[in-house]
Amino acid sequence: MSKPNFMLCERCGGDLKIFKEASAQGVRCADCGWSVVTTHIEEIKLDEVEYSVSCVGDYKSEAHVRVVSDVAGCNFLVSRKKLQSGSFLVFVGQAEEVLRVRNALVSVGIECNISPDFKWV
């Protein structure tokens, strides 16, 4: 059985391979390099909602204090005081940054809450 026309290079007849790199996607000929490319922007990058991330962690845990310090942009002592206070606002930003912050917090066992509802988890 022959291959469908649409998966063969129009220049040399070679195999076309589908690719997705950064914000581009398309097909590229494995033999001659001919390609057709279009823009592909992930939905999370288009989300303009401002999200708030609050968290609760253990102020005695060095890992918790270090992650809070990193995502909140404050020093170790300030982070420890924030963790002692209970639930607090640690970050405000757009979806892509919030996902990074959430993943960092969760990776060390910190409970976090994102508002409004965050569909990117």
Which of 27, 49, 96 is CA-nearest to residue 10? 27
HEC assignment per residue over 63-117: HHHHHHHHHHCCCHHHHHHHHHCCCEEEEEECHHHHHHHHHHHHHCCCEEEEECC
Cα-to-chain-centroid distance, residue 119: 12
Write out the chain's pLDDT in tens, 121 residues: 454 556 899 899 999 999 999 889 999 999 999 999 999 899 999 999 999 999 999 999 999 999 999 999 999 999 999 999 999 999 999 999 999 999 999 999 999 999 999 999 8
Question: Is-above-0.85 flag for pTM?
Answer: no
- What structural domains and CATH numbers belong to the chain? 7-40 (no CATH), 45-115 (3.30.1390.10)
Beta bridge partners of 71: none
Beta bridge partners of 113: 54
3-state secondary structure of 35: strand
